[in-house]
Structures are given as structure tokens and as C-alpha cells.
Amino acid sequence: MSGLVKAAFLLGMLCALTVSMTGCSTPADTKPTPVVPQTARAMPPAEPLTDTTAANATKLTPIHAADRAALVALYNDTNGANWYNNTNWLSDAPLDEWQGVTTNENGRVTEIDLANNRLTGELPSELGNLANLIKLHLGGNQVTGEIPPELGRIARLEWLSLSNNQLKGEIPAELETLVYLTNLRLSSNHLAGCVPVVLHNVDGNDLAKLNLEPCNQGTPLFDSTDRAALTALYHSTNGPNWKKNDNWLSDAPLDQWHGLTATLDGRVIELLLADNQLRGAIPGELGDLADLRVLNLGRNQLTGQIPSQLGNLANLQDLRLDFNQLSGDIPPELGNLANLGMPWIDDYGFAVDEGGLHLSCNQLTGEIPEELGNLANLRVLSIGSDFCVLNHTVQNQLAGEIPVELANLSNLNQLDLSGNRLTGEIPAELGDLTNLKGLILSSNQLAGDIPAEVGSLVKLEWLYLGNNQLTGEISTELGSLSNLGHLDLNGNLLAGGIPAELSNLSTLSGLNLGGNQLTGEIPAWLGDIINLASLDLSKNQLTGTIPAELGKRTRMAVLDLSDNQLSGEIPAELGNLTGLFVLKISGNQLSGCVPTAWQRVSNSDLTDLGLPFCE
């Protein structure tokens, strides 16, 4: 594929994959705010798991088993045998048939409503494992003990009602992490201490009835810890010469330092310094920012290795270090970032679900850590380099095989491993990533057949496997990708004909099969793909004539049929392609004349044909 044609493909993809590419991502100064908003909000999607029915109740997935185990712990710890109503509890019935329990379509527990049901005893810490829980209503019982801090792990929780019990102790600070809370009821207990200040922002709360003071009023408790980490970053990355460094190292509240967002009790939750002329190494002290949700240091001149201490950022939801000059291995400790990819709330009250791991366009080496397969909430994994050539000079050089563990990333939307030195075959298990919209594995050294399982990725919009060493025929299962917009298989060793099943790709706008060993004729049905704007079949062994049907695609911008074994005359109908920007048809055995309308094509090889323009 010529450099100009390749640039056309790359530029189109660069702007469409805004999630995975920092070049089209949120500006450096944009501050999505992961604190409790005062307006309605969108919820993050539940984990897509198989439904639990009575027929398979004894064959629960590990995550379903965790939900059941949490409910069993609640039953046992609160004297379930003596509840007013305990219908179906501890039975083999589906969980949504247990009294007071509601589940979603995937069988995950979303609500527990056991108010006024004579619960006694203490609340179990296992409740914190109910990852999809939205409502927990246990008011009006005789529950004792303390509020489990593990409730702070229920990231989707909107409603928490524990009022009118006999709870004691302090309100756990961990509840501040429940950014979706709209109702919080804790009154009529025996709670002591202070109220975490962020909880006062919850719309429907009864905290005033507690007669407790806000925590850390005046001096933030964690201010010194976070200041020390930020000071280390400033000194390590040439802070005096940043583009903007307003208030850094001053006595001003951290929320007033450029690029920072902090909670009312002084914890840094966002660090946004992209494209700010940071130079030097990332200090390990950043791993001490325990409440950090978003870290964006992309598009700077950072060097050295990625600190393994970043794996300590348990609350991190989005990590962007792309377009720098970082080197060395990807720390396996990043596999500990269990919340990476979880949505957060922006300034307008909407959930932002583009979170991920962005490490593309650096100088990283070594293999892809299999531990990244632990990041169950990840939406974007971008460690490729195919787009660095457009506005960056360095590329990653990751080697080894694609870890099969990446198939565990069930929430993944974008996977970009392009432009590295990866070897081996494409794992068939990637076909399990049913939420995937973009799969970019181009410009590696991958071999073997294209797995038929890729055809299971029905949400796929971008499939880029070009410039590898793939063999065999084009998988007919690719015809099942009904949402596919761009298919790039160029620069491989693929043989056989162009499968008729690809005619099902009605949304296709870009098709690049150039630089293979394809045989047979150009299918006439290509002219029936309404959105087709770029077609590259160059450098194959295609025979026969050019189908006149291609003339129906009047908005086509790129047409490259060069260096095949095509014969016959150029169909007059192709003169309808008046919007062509790139036209390559030389290196064939064409005869006759050239459509007059093609005289206006700015980038063509028509002079190499030796044919006159039609009169």
C-alpha cells in the first residue's frame, strides 16, 4: 500500500478511535469530576455475564458465586432463620426469587430490600463483594456492630439506608468513594465520631439528624502525604519549565494547583498534566496518591521506566501515559488496578466510560504482562504504535505472544497492540471479547490463520490485522461482523478468493486487502456496499475485468487496483467516480481508453497506463 493510501486509512482511524488515541481525547485541562453530583447521572454498565437460572443454579460462575456467598453471609450473620420473611433464602432458586433480592438480566444482584424484617446481629464484610448492587435498604431492624468499610467497594451503589438500627462506631471514610449515591440514611443509630465531608453532598441524606461534626474541618488529614508526592513529581519533571504550573509548591489548597482536583478533605482525585512540557522520570511517590481516580501525563517528554508503585493506586480509573519516551517493561503490578476502566462522573453529571490503560507511542520493551488480564473493568487497552508516525517519533517494541489472559477483559471496547514485534498466532480466545468495537493488531509479526472466532465480535467496527504474516484464506466468518466499518488485512500472505460472505458487511466504508496473494476475480457485489469509500486490492493476483458495478459508488475517494493481472477495458461506468482522491490501476493488462472524468484526479498513476482518455 502506498504511503498516501496508508495515510488515508490511518487518518480516518485516528479520528474515529477517539477513545484509544490521546490525539482526539479529552483536553489536558478538562476536569471530569468523580465526586457525588447533584444531578441525575448515568450508571456504569453491569458486567456481562451469563444468566443464572434454576437449571444452572449449581453451575454458577465465580462472580455469581460471590454474589450468592455475600447473601448467605448476610443471612447467617443477621439471624436469617428468624426474619419475618426469608422466602427462598439459601435455596437453589434463582437469586431474584429470594425475598427482597433483585437481579439484572445477567443474574447479578442489584437490590437488597430487607427493611423492617427483624434482622439482628452484625453486617458482614462480604456485602462489599456485590459489585453491581445499586440499592441496599436494611433500615428498621436491630442490626448491631459497625458499618463495614467494605461497603465503600460497591462502586455502583445509589441508595444506602441503614437508619433505625443499633449501629455504633464511626462512619467509615471509605463511603466517600461511592460517587453515585443519591440517598443516604444513617439516622437513629448510635454512631459516633465525625461525618466524612463528601457525604454531605449526597442529595437525599439525613446526616443532620446525627448531630456529628464534619471530619477534618480546617486542616485536610491527607494533605501532607499528597503534597509530598506532587512535590516529587514537580522536581522530577522540571516543574519550573512546565507550560503551566500555577500554585505548584505554594500553600494554596491542592485543588488550586494547576491540573489538580481534590476532595473537600484534601485528597487528590485527578492529576491532569497532559501536553504540559514535563521532562524527566515519573517518581514512584505518585503511588502514594491513594484516592487518585484519573492520571493523565500523556504527550510530554517523560523518560525512564513506568514506576511499579503506580500499581498501588487502587482507586485509579483512567491511566494515560501515551506519547512520551518511556522505556523498559510494562510493570505487572498494573494488573492490580482493579478499578481501571470504571466510569466516573463529569462536570455535567454524565458517566464517562472511556477509562483504560493508555501506553501507546513510547519506547516500551519486553512482553505484555499476563497480569493485565486481571483488569476486569478495563474499557480501553492501548499499547500500540501504528499511529505514532503521524505526530510522534518513537514506537513501542513489545515482543512475545499475545497473552491469552487478555480474553478475560470482558468489558473491553478497544484493543490496540499495533506496531510492536509480537509473534505467534492471534489467540482464538479473543473471540470472547464480545463488547469489542476496535481490534488493532496491525504491523506485528503475527502468523497463522485469522481465527474464525473473530467473527463472534458482532460489535466490532474496526478490524486492523494488516502488515503481519497471516496465512490461509480470508475467514468467511468475518461476514458476520454486521457493524464493521473498516477492514484492513493488507500486507499479509493471505490466499484464495475474496469471500462472498463479505458482501454482508453493509456498513463497510474502508476495505484494504492489498499486498496479499489473493486470486480470482473482483466481486461485482463490492459495488453494492453503499458506504464504501476506500477500496484497496492492489498487489495481489486478481484476474478478469474490473466490475462496472464499482461505478455505483460515486462517493468513493480511494481506489487502488494496481499490480494485479486484470485485463479488458476500463468500464465507462467508472467515470461516475468523480470524487476520487487516490486512483491506482497500473500494473495490469488493461486496454481501451480512460474515462475523461479521471483527468481531475489529483493523485493517480494514469500516465503509466499508456492509454488515451475517452472522447
Indicate whether 469 pLDDT > 80.
yes
Give per-residue pLDDT as tens, 185-201. Answer: 999 999 999 888 778 88
Count the helices and strands in the chain (H runs, E runs). 4, 40
C-alpha cell, 325:
519516551
Burial of residue 394 (number of CB atoms within 10 Å: 0-12, 13-18, 19+): middle
- CA distances in angstroms from 347 to 24, 140, 344, 350, listed in the order given: 19, 36, 10, 8
C-alpha cell, 23:
490525539
Q: What is the mean pLDDT of residues 112-124?
A: 95
- Give the model's pLDDT for residue 49: 35
DSSP H stretches of helix in 213-365: 223-236
Q: Which amino acid is at 421?
A: R
Grid cell 460515486 — which residue? 554
- Predicted confidence band of residue 14 (pLDDT cuts 50, 70, 90): very low
Residue 584 pairs in a beta bridge with 560
C-alpha cell, 569:
477495458
The residue with greater pLDDT, 545 or 255, is 545
- Spatial contact of 475 and 457, defined as CB atoms under 8 Å apart: no
Query: Tell me, what DSSP letter sits at residue 57?
Result: T
Q: What is the mean pLDDT of residues 402-407?
A: 97
Give per-residue pLDDT as tens, 279-297. Answer: 999 999 999 999 999 999 9
Which of helix, strand or coil describes residue 66? helix
- Give the model's pLDDT for residue 473: 97
Give the chain's length.
615
Chain-centroid distance of CA 213 in Å reads 40
Q: What is the mean pLDDT of residues 117-136?
A: 93
Query: Tell me, what DSSP letter sits at residue 162?
Result: -
Distance CA 471, CA 402 (A): 18
- Give the model's pLDDT for residue 29: 39
